[in-house]
Structure 1
């Protein structure tokens, strides 16, 4: 209960300035960007590599998904505190990972992890809702979690159905990952109705991609607002960065 009271007080303070301050979502709509699943420990060289790439291409929006332990973990980690601060200083937008287990987790359980992220890692700027259901009728589950996150001051929410989803889920969060799979997507706009919505609503993540062509990035970013590709493969394609990271950011510039 004490944690809830602390967060409620923080939410009231943040809401009083929300109207005057432009949101990250609006700032990122102007150009295509990349969403990087940064599933490595901050002390590894991976975080520094991403930071240097962002500094090299400062105009490219970069979101980094921070994932201490498939969630916030059991306690605040000083390495993550430092790493998140470094990401912010470089202009990267760090967001915290939680899983919804396709809406089988109770909203209370997910909110409890969001609370911990806010308490332990206050410099995070958003939340990532993994394993998003695409079953009709569950839109409110995700809309409520997104709104809850924003009341705590998290400015951006991203959710991951990992595949083409229902049109009714557009707007439940800021961005939907409509492709997470091995190889390049046949089309970065799997459903024709997607083209009637702002590209910022959609992202694609591809792995097992050995090399990257500018034409691939151009084709995708004509349909979606966020792309990320890597050479990594299963069981964890997201524990490193692709050797062509700088090339990707250059193509997005």
Structure 2
């Protein structure tokens, strides 16, 4: 199992869940670290601690960075990348809100180069839908679906080794078609405040 887990809860509020993530290290492709819709304005000691624990367990820590579909200035994105690296030791980058059209590929190519220069060994683009094939040259992994289970189960989505599906409001019996994946029970406005079924705490 290769779980890419975006878990957006504070470690002091959900310590048992973060313990479960660390314990599940062999199952994980990576964990998306998102202290404040990005790196924030100052390091958060609780996230520093969990990031250290994840890395010590061999888990790739992906720093969350919003790109606002290409509208966010390059310098602001780069600031987030460097803060994730310097404050949390992030060894990967998770770019959120990425467009699917080919016109933006060059912009994200530059961001990918910047991420690598900042020390990201793994770059993930979250399109949330099927992107133009040109993006495969930019990142290691493309999130080609993000949405609810009721929608996902009705679709016949393309599958490739570099595709990832993120599904919420999913039952424990949900089976996703990509190798790298995550299905969580949570829904509504904050679905990524729940762990994948395989890692749920008692």
Instruction: Return the alpha-carbon distance in structure 2 between the equivalents of residues 189 and 157 of structure 1.
Output: 26
The aligned length equals: 197
Matches within 5 A, 1:103-122: 103-121=70-88
SS of residue in 1 equivalent to 2:68? coil
| Matching residue of 1:176 | 142
Structure 1 segments of 4+ aligned residues over 4 angstroms from their partners: none
SS of residue in 2 equivalent to 1:64? strand
The CA deviation at 1:103 is 0.3
| Matching residue of 2:102 | 136
In the alignment, structure 1 segments of 5+ residues that lack a partner are 1-31, 247-253
* Structure with the higher strand share, 1 or 2: 2
After superposing the two structures, state which structure 1 stretch, 35-44 or 67-76, moved more.
35-44
Counterpart contact for 1:42–1:80, Cα < 8 Å: yes
Match of 2:62 among 92, 95, 100: 95
| Matching residue of 1:208 | 169
SS of residue in 1 equivalent to 2:165? strand
| Greater gyration radius | 1
Matches within 5 A, 1:1-253: 33-43=2-12, 44=14, 45-54=16-25, 58=26, 60-121=27-88, 123-183=89-149, 185-186=152-153, 190-191=157-158, 195=160, 199=161, 201-212=162-173, 216-217=175-176, 220=177, 224-245=178-199
TM-score, normalization by structure 2: 0.90
TM-score, normalization by structure 1: 0.72
What's the RMSD between the two structures over aligned residues? 1.9
**Cα deviation 1:170-195 (Å, max 9, x = unaligned):** 1211110001000062488624xx55
Instruction: Return the alpha-carbon distance in structure 1 between the equivalents of residues 155 and 71 of structure 2.
Output: 28
In the alignment, structure 2 segments of 5+ residues that lack a partner are none
Instruction: Return the alpha-carbon distance in structure 1 between the equivalents of residues 8 and 92 of structure 2.
Output: 16
Counterpart contact for 1:188–1:204, Cα < 8 Å: no
Instruction: Return the alpha-carbon distance in structure 2 between the equivalents of residues 173 and 189 of structure 1.
Output: 23
